[in-house]
Amino acid sequence: MDFTLTEDQAAILEHVKEFCDEHLAPKAKETDEAGVWPAENVAMLGQLDLMGIPVPEEYGGLGMDFLTWAMVGEELSRACTTTGAVFGAHLLAVFPILSFGTEEQKQKYLVPLAKGEHIGAFGLTEPGAGSDAGAVATKAVRDGDDYILNGTKIFISNGGEAQTYVIIASTKPERGARGLSAFIVEKGTPGFEFGKNEKKMAYPSLPNRELIFTDCRVPKENLLGREGAGFLVAMRTLGVGRIGMAIGSVGVARAALEAAVPYSKQRHQFGKPISSFQAIQFMLADMATELDAARLLTWRAAWLKDQNKPFEKEAAMAKLYASEVAMRVTTKAVQVFGGYGYTKEFPVERYMREAKLFEIVEGTSEVQRMVIANHVIRELG
Amino acid sequence: MNIVVCIKQVPETTEVRVDPETNALIREGIKGIVNPFDENAIEAALQLREAHGGKVTVVSMGPPQAEEALRHALAMGADEAILLTDAGFRGSDTLATSYALAAAVKKIGDVDLVLCGKQAIDGDTGQVGPGMAERLGFPQVTFTIELEIADGKLRARRVLDDLFEVIEVKLPAVVTVVKQINEPRLPGMRNVLKAKRAEITKWTAADLEADPTQVGFDGSPTQVLKVWPPQKRSSGQLLEGEPDEVAERLAGIIKELNIAPR
């Protein structure tokens, strides 16, 4: 076991932290409240070579590993949750093209994504297909050299702003999950439009849009993986996506703890800082401990991915635990702040609303428990 | 264009602490950064290279750890870095420093432009740039906020107290820049990793064929007799709560301090 960062990881993190403190954190509140796409932040992520961390250099990436990607994601989410969410959602297009794309697809789509010139998004969820990914109703019918897509995706992060979409559609509806296929669809393709942008409990600046396909012709060259491999593409992508959600959870929890500690030292009641009261100390101790446990689970999942070892169970554990920790830690942070914590003057109420996302998105806590239980029962039964 | 940027590593904090016994700056535990104005000079050099082609070399004089500042410049996109480091350089004042840096510029050779920040945030003298211009026999343009080069001439807009001045000089020249000239770029991680592995050239006083009486303590007529921190002002006490309650507590404090008019 070795928990030491490599020299490269340390150098990258040092610069990323500096960038976060100087450019993201000071305007995180503004970025959130603006309710508009954080274009400037996203452009800076590209300039910093952060949009393709685990992509090989020959495809415009940094050639680092998923663990480094996870560490950077935590810093971004801690400094600006919205920017962290864009960073996480972007990888959901990067990863499947990296893993399943042909050389031509990689040159055409992966390179600009990795360089941050294009933003990516992943379209799986539909009104009738969320946890049950096999129930996808969007259809893709082969017609000559094209596929014709019809259907609607919902809640798609980065939707409308991204240029490159990885879309899961059914090519053989009678075969259910085995009849799914993945496609790369470019923004601007005739028949591909954007619908409603959801108004959510938090993240007003992160778009979660409907993607509407109406007789949308996609060239057969844009089939990602073979026909029928869509479920595999989706599951692999969600596996990595779960690590991403665990990262976001750790980031927001850390932001909450880092707000609560100084406040508890500064806030005086009964003539003493409230940090001197055991009731507050025990909350801070639990917050710090659970945060570390969540981070270590997340790092393990990313490390397994980097070792090309199975990581599905571990990613589900990390996502489940980290998201629930984020909820507990942010709730306690509001409690430490007391009445002020309930106001918009301090960021902790926002963190609490933001944390709730992670217990739902990319597989609810209940779905994660299903995934984990399946593994545990198979392994130990 | 062959551009040389001279940079200095300075302590990160502006609240420099001074050892009360020795009157020396306490550098332990304080991170070294590139002097902020020098970052603007690097950015200006990179923009000129993008417009006119050529090469950007960064030079710094300092202890071995000043290498970190040079690596930052490389990460921003500079082509080459040279560290002037030698026990004989210790104690150099601005006169000796400008002598050594000018010697380095001569050794590099065929330099079209030397860029510096207007001053360092630790010493705040602003003398090294002009000192180099004198040593090199180059025209000097200080406090530059805009810069353009055409037909071997440099046209610069200078910021003075209450006016701008536009002047034109022939190259080669020494130019010092102000913060407002540009926004220094964020180094990309690809360059950060490359810079980490880059070779940094090290030149000693002997490499520069420097006259030992012109550098270090011997070459420095300036002697710092005393350095002391400004008197600290306490940060005050913040009262929180309902206005009525706060007013009552405040009145109590005033009474206690016995400063209320009778």
pLDDT in tens, B168-179: 999 999 999 999
Is the distance from CB of A192 to CB of A215 less than 8 angstroms? no
pLDDT of B24 higher than 80: no
Looking at domain A7-119, its CATH architecture is: Orthogonal Bundle (1.10)
What pLDDT is stored for residue B13 in this prediction?
Answer: 67
Contact of A49 with chain B, judged by CB distance below 8 Å, is answered with yes
More confident residue, B26 or B37: B37
CB B128 within 8 A of CB B187: no
- Residue B186: list chain A partners with CB under 8 A: 19, 23, 44, 47-48
- The CATH number for A232-380, chosen from 1.20.1740.10, 1.50.10.20, 3.30.470.10, 1.20.140.10, is 1.20.140.10
How does residue B22 score in pLDDT terms, banded at 50, 70 and 90? low
Rounded-to-integer distance, Cα A218 and Cα A256, Å: 44
**Residue B189: which of A7, A44, A50 has the nearest Cβ?**
A50
As a 3-state breakdown, chain B gives helix, strand, coil percent values, each rounded to 5, of 35, 25, 40
Q: Which of A230, A199, A249, A209 is nearest to A365 (CA)?
A: A249
Cβ-contact A84, A128 below 8 angstroms = no
Given a contact cutoff of 8 angstroms between Cβ atoms, the answer to whether A330 and A291 are in contact is no
In this structure, of A31-45, A276-290, B13-27, B45-59, the range with the lowest mean pLDDT score is B13-27
**Beta-strand (E) ranges in chain A?**
120-123, 139-143, 146-157, 164-170, 180-186, 192-197, 208-219, 223-224, 268-269, 272-273
If one looks up domain A121-228 in CATH, what number appears?
Answer: 2.40.110.10
Whole-Å CA distances, A156 to A76, A133, A140, A255: 21, 14, 19, 25
Higher-pLDDT residue of A42 and B119 is: A42
Mutate to test the interface with B, among A48, A53, A68 (most CBs of B within 10 A): A48
In this predicted structure, what is the pLDDT of residue B58? 97
Is B189–A44 a contact, with Cβ atoms under 8 angstroms apart?
A: no
Identify the pLDDT of residue B247: 92
Residues 6+ positions from A304 with CB-CB distance below 8 Å: A310, A311, A314
Closest among B58, B62, B83 to B9, alpha carbons compared: B62
Nearest-CA residue of chain B relative to A266? Answer: B238
Q: B109: which residues sit within 8 A by CB, 6+ positions away?
A: none
Q: Is B160 helix (H, G, I), strand (E, B) or coil?
A: coil
Q: How many CB pairs under 8 A join A and B?
A: 36
Structure confidence by residue, pLDDT tens digits, B63-94? 999 999 999 999 999 999 999 999 888 888 88
Helix, strand, coil percent values for chain A (each to nearest 5): 60, 15, 25
Task: Give the residue numbers in B contacting A (CB under 8 Å), as ranges.
Answer: 75, 185-193, 196, 240
Q: Kindly state the tokens that stand for A108.
A: 């055409």
Q: Predicted confidence band at B240 (pLDDT cuts at 50, 70, 90)?
A: confident
Active site residues of A: 362
Looking at residue B253, its pLDDT comes to 87
Q: Does residue B229 surpass a pLDDT of 90?
A: no
Q: What is the DSSP-derived secondary structure letter of residue B209?
A: T
Peptide bond into B187 cis (omega under 30): no
Angle A365-380/A312-337 helices, nearest 10 degrees?
140
CB A159 within 8 A of CB A125: no
C-alpha distances in angstroms, B115 versus A233, B8, B160, B172, B236? 53, 12, 18, 11, 43
Q: Domain coordinates of chain A in residue numbers?
A: 7-119, 121-228, 232-380
Bridge partner list, A216: A149
**3-state SS assignment for residue B105:** helix
pLDDT category, B31, cuts 50, 70, 90?
Answer: confident
pLDDT at residue B231 is higher than 90: no
Query: At B27, is the pLDDT very low, low, confident or very high (cuts 50, 70, 90)?
Result: low
Q: Is the pLDDT reported for residue B59 higher than 70?
A: yes
Task: Name which of A12, A44, A267 is nearest B192 (Cβ-Cβ).
Answer: A12
User: What is the arithmetic mean of pLDDT over B125-149?
Assistant: 93
> Taken in order A337, A340, A345, A351, is the CA torsion positive or negative?
positive
Q: What is the pLDDT of residues B150-198, one digit of tens each?
A: 888 999 999 998 999 999 999 999 999 999 999 999 899 999 999 999 9
Residue in the structure block whose two tokens are 């970025």:
A31
Q: Which domains does chain B have, with CATH numbers?
A: 2-214 (3.40.50.620)
Contact call for residues A72 and A13 (beta carbons, < 8 A):
yes
The one-digit pLDDT tens for each residue of chain A (381 residues) are 789 999 999 999 999 999 999 999 999 999 999 999 999 999 999 999 999 999 999 999 999 999 999 999 999 999 999 999 999 999 999 999 999 999 999 999 999 999 999 999 999 999 988 778 788 999 999 999 999 999 999 999 999 999 999 999 999 999 999 999 999 999 999 999 999 999 999 999 999 999 999 999 999 999 999 999 999 999 999 999 999 999 999 999 999 999 999 999 999 999 999 999 999 999 999 999 999 999 999 999 999 999 999 999 999 999 999 999 999 999 999 999 999 999 999 999 999 999 999 999 999 999 999 999 999 999 998
**Nearest one of A246, A184, A247 to A216, comparing CA atoms:** A184
* Identity of the amino acid at B130: P
